[in-house]
Amino acid sequence: SKSLSDEENLKLFGKCNNPNGHGHNYKGCSISLLVSLQIDPVSGMVLNLTDLKEYMQEAIMEPLDHKNLDKDVPYFAEVVSTTENVAVFIWENLQQLLPPGILYKVKVCETDQNVVVYKGEETILE
């Protein structure tokens, strides 16, 4: 965090505190959609999965895949790139693309033990 001293960063972030950055291979991101909306009687779907795949490509893969979050993603220039904030970033990007009311939650699995679920203003650590 740019707002903390080197000592404070080390105390707060431990081994993840590295002035040259550190990496993660996230276990995966799963996006859960609210399916209680009206199902289209012609398609039988709430949302076309081809469209969803394109939205996920634009909102998640293009800005984040194989990137140094702190250096390559403008959002993280001023926001600490914690798993919680990655979930918020994904939520905000998807909200801009998806029809209103479709997105239910974003789940980011950094490791088997570090999982964040973000539901708008509600964040849950699992």
Q: Which residues are known to be catalytic?
A: 16, 66, 110
How far apart, in whole angstroms, are the C-alpha atoms of residue 83 and residue 36? 28
Spatial contact of 124 and 91, defined as CB atoms under 8 Å apart: no
User: Checking DSSP bridges between strand 103-109 and strand 115-119, what pairing results, if any?
Assistant: antiparallel
In the chain, the amino acid numbered 76 is F
Cα–Cα nearest to 97, from 33, 36, 42, 43: 33
